[in-house]
Structure 1
């Protein structure tokens, strides 16, 4: 694709982009929903509960089949923040990390309030979606990181010892900024990761994941996307742990039939770079989306994060039509995910017509206020 944000999009390009945006966001949600019931269980416990093959279909969690967790919730607020940043750019206020932090603070409100405050029109439409007002296993690092107005930065990060994968999972939407230079995509993901997961490896893993999604959304192959990401990482100090994890994943692809033991070995202690390695590996070796996601979650490591990361890669690679329809039919919040995906695609391809100098859509600005 390789375009700038001001370039003219053809209809075929717009349709392909929208399919990849939908695929990425729905893929994250499906992987999250598949992994949610078994997150934190070891493989023996998973097999004991669901049979010798483990989880092969959506099963109940949080009171229903297809339930999603904070991984999907925060991914949606990442999209909301990116759209709001684009809209606010017209005012001359252009600092996306700040807009993302405000979006994540709106997510934090869903974790402590009973429901949306209809008086706060400046919150926009996503924060008024009642189904999002549910605490779904959010970690302490997330609640602390977004617990006040102070924004963590790479220079002064929140939770500087936190190395978990949560920041990486919410970074898939940054990769959908296909008009951006990949270096800037990595930097934005790193800066936003520092708001909750301040360990340099966790931040750089978020940047690496966004870079892989970015290349896939531009039409690259998975191998090409990983190689491009390794080249980007090589230019950054302290990249070795993340680069080694990606190389480890590539090496595992050549080691024969995939097994849960191989997935667990890649995951290691469940830190961000290990879970990214799992996602890359499962996206490589999966026979289709369903198989790749099942491989990612049926292991003793962090099943939810692994499923969500894998789903984002497969959705960006193949588009929405490759996702299992039966799973999509039961996915919690699917109408919201689709509406937000289509809004993002419209903003990125036709934003100037919605809120540019020549005119603006009052309806759009009500959905994504400049305030």
Structure 2
């Protein structure tokens, strides 16, 4: 795997990219926070409590508004792992899935440790954020897949029967590798998805979602991203359910006014490709970010995952300033997310100024150790 290196970024380009990175991360987290409290509720119950358009505000969950689930936690560690992969490239070691596996293992430690161990300096700064040690309903597939040091791969995936959307949600950051070609973005996303979700529909859906976000982060639109994903999926074994789900989303756009009932039809069953289908539909038909997110979480399925997928897409499309400020103000961990997003943007646009094989900024290596 490789990336386009040596690109020159102008100030305007850097600012635009940083806004899209922030938008992707914060948008996904807002969607998670908006939808997760509705997980397990029927569509009728959601309508009874929140009306036809869904919740108008973030709901109280885990004792406060704006809390996020393990979906956002893992997404943060994806960004952290990608930064660490770039830093480790100076050593001659270049295998991003391994660095992502190490990052996900650091997340797994937060699910059983009482808090950060300050003596483990090789963990970097993100693993020392105490709020991430809250256990927020991690799925069995994630815990089992990351429960030991053996890394799942496409040839030997972990949990080969796992079809849930969790690996898809955490794949948004791969789409922010704007210097990479789309086929490499799909490849790294699906390889990292097999570390917890080994069923083809789950890991191919993760690859497809990363390609959609990639198109948006490069200035395209949702339809551009879906068409690119369909093209890249076509030669891969087992891609038919994912491709058909994406085609259903495009077809649903032409079937009249947006409705929660149509989202429920697309998401029926809650498997990875179906949740992705519903999210693509909501991103295409949403009048704005708020409407798209409310629509995405009001169907009686895995609302947190669907909301996170829509938030990630719309955040990449429009940038952080399009996100509802009242929801941002109450979002758990927002300060951490902003620092991480800005660090990722700085690494991707100005990495050679921070570290090279022969020299490095000590503070950067303390935050993102090569070890």
Q: What's the TM-score, normalizing by structure 2?
A: 0.98
The equivalent residue for 1:120 is 120
CA-based RMSD: 1.1
Answer yes or no: is the 8 Å Cα contact 1:5–1:180 preserved in 2: no
Question: How many Å apart are 1:52 and its aligned residue?
Answer: 5.2
The equivalent residue for 2:212 is 212
Question: What SS class does the counterpart of residue 150 from structure 1 fall into?
Answer: coil
Q: Which moved more, 1:54-63 or 1:170-179?
A: 54-63
Structure 2 Cα separation of the partners of residues 370 and 11 of structure 1: 28
Question: How many Å apart are 1:34 and its aligned residue?
Answer: 0.1
Which structure 1 segments of 5+ residues have no match? none
The equivalent residue for 1:300 is 300
Answer yes or no: is the 8 Å Cα contact 1:88–1:94 preserved in 2: yes
The equivalent residue for 1:77 is 77
How many residues align? The count is 369
The equivalent residue for 1:280 is 280
Structure 1 Cα separation of the partners of residues 241 and 366 of structure 2: 44
The equivalent residue for 1:19 is 19
Can you list the C-alpha shifts for 1:22-78, whole angstroms capped at 9, x where unaligned? Answer: 000001100000001101111122233345543121010111100000010000000
Alignment of 1:331-342 (within 5 A): 331-342=331-342
Structure 2 Cα separation of the partners of residues 270 and 286 of structure 1: 21
Answer yes or no: is the 8 Å Cα contact 1:29–1:308 preserved in 2: yes
The equivalent residue for 1:351 is 351
Q: Which moved more, 1:43-52 or 1:153-162?
A: 43-52
Question: How many Å apart are 1:83 and its aligned residue?
Answer: 0.3
Structure 2 Cα separation of the partners of residues 68 and 367 of structure 1: 24
Question: How many Å apart are 1:319 and its aligned residue?
Answer: 0.5
Structure 1 Cα separation of the partners of residues 98 and 247 of structure 2: 33
Which structure 2 segments of 5+ residues have no match? none
Can you list the C-alpha shifts for 1:109-148, whole angstroms capped at 9, x where unaligned? Answer: 1111111000000000000000000110110011101111
The equivalent residue for 1:255 is 255
Answer yes or no: is the 8 Å Cα contact 1:217–1:317 preserved in 2: yes
Structure 1 Cα separation of the partners of residues 183 and 166 of structure 2: 21
Answer yes or no: is the 8 Å Cα contact 2:269–2:301 preserved in 1: yes
Aligned: 1:88 with 2:88: yes
Alignment of 1:1-371 (within 5 A): 4-51=4-51, 53-357=53-357, 359-371=359-371
Answer yes or no: is the 8 Å Cα contact 2:219–2:317 preserved in 1: yes
Answer yes or no: is the 8 Å Cα contact 1:31–1:308 preserved in 2: yes
Q: What's the TM-score, normalizing by structure 1?
A: 0.98
Question: How many Å apart are 1:232 and its aligned residue?
Answer: 1.1
